[in-house]
Amino acid sequence: MAHYARIYIVSDSLGETAERVAHGAAIQFEHADIRIERLSNILDSQGIDRILDRAAGEAAIVVYTLVRPDLSEHLMCRAQELGVQTVDVMGPVIQALQKTLDLKPRLIPGLSHRLDREYFDRVDAVEFAVKYDDGKDPRGIREADIVLLGVSRTSKTPVSLYLANHRLKVANVPLVPEVPVPQEVFQEARNKSIGLIIDAELLMSIRRQRLKSLGLGSSAQYATMERIMAELDYAWDVFNRLKCPVLDVSNHAVEETATRVLEIRQGGHY
């Protein structure tokens, strides 16, 4: 075919952005044979020289996204010497933003891909927290980064979801005297379990409000002091068996409790 060209995609990261631009341009030329080759993680001038030497010997264009100014400048100068056409996809936009914002860019290769990965890790963690909420499936205990244990209304679910935004997979297990704690907790979660406890009087008030919101009477056993004390005693028994850290959530916002969980995890105080 007479109309032939090759596009070399050069990037100090993956090069996905430049490749999408190149494909978008190439499809506008219906009767042409355009070959696109992506060359990722080019981090030195020698790598750039090898690509340009290849491009100089054929009908080729180099489309690049190089964040480092020294590499970008080297590519432009060397391409000029060899008569190779180049297209800088990212540089002009970064320069325009730098001028408009009056700020220096970070110039970190692969930052966009890293942020994408962080976003999807966060989504996975939220899905994990929902799937393994309230002890629905003990199998999540094995995969979890953190396991929260506590009686009903100790903020296990909201704390789990808050931690998910830090890309941590959290399973939570309700502690009910009549329901045995899953064996997975004792077998696989001793070093990642954290207990949540609360003042008995405060818990009684919270549970009565909960019953009222459901249109139920506040005299149900769930909200009696006798029942609450039995549950809290049971919870302390489980915590002592696990020898796990215990956080008092009384009068603490979800964000405060989650921050304390993070501190425990980061400090290795399990």
Whole-prediction pTM: 0.62
Which of helix, strand or coil describes residue 12? Answer: coil
Structure tokens at 54: 């290849």
**Which pLDDT does position 121 carry in this prediction?**
87
**Which pLDDT does position 30 carry in this prediction?**
86
Q: Which residues contact residue 190 at a Cβ distance below 8 angstroms, ignoring those fewer than 6 apart?
A: 242, 243, 244, 270
The Cα–Cα gap between 164 and 127 comes to: 9
Residue closest to 128 by CA, chosen among 83, 190, 174, 171: 171
Amino acid at 129: A
**Which pLDDT does position 109 carry in this prediction?**
75
Q: Note the CATH number of domain 114-267.
A: 3.40.50
**Which pLDDT does position 116 carry in this prediction?**
65
**Cβ count near 50 (within 10 Å):** 12
**Which pLDDT does position 220 carry in this prediction?**
86
Q: Which residues contact residue 206 at a Cβ distance below 8 angstroms, ignoring those fewer than 6 apart?
A: 153, 198
DSSP 44: S
Structure tokens at 263: 């501190």
**Which pLDDT does position 114 carry in this prediction?**
65
Handedness of CA 102, 107, 112, 115 (dihedral sign): negative
4-109 matches 114-267 in fold: yes
In this structure, which CATH number among 3.40.50.2300, 3.40.47.10, 3.40.50.920, 3.20.20.100 belongs to the domain 4-109? 3.40.50.2300
Q: Return the CA Rg of the chain.
A: 29
**Which pLDDT does position 268 carry in this prediction?**
64
Each of the 270 residues of the chain gets a pLDDT tens digit; together they read 468 999 999 998 888 889 999 999 999 998 899 999 999 999 999 999 999 999 998 999 999 999 888 999 999 999 999 999 999 998 888 888 888 899 888 877 767 666 667 778 888 999 999 999 998 899 999 999 999 999 999 999 999 999 999 999 999 999 999 999 999 999 999 999 999 999 999 999 999 998 988 888 767 899 999 999 999 999 999 999 999 999 999 999 999 999 999 999 988 655
**Which pLDDT does position 215 carry in this prediction?**
83
Domain layout of the chain by residue ranges: 4-109, 114-267
Whether the Cβ atoms of residue 1 and residue 33 lie closer than 8 Å to each other: yes
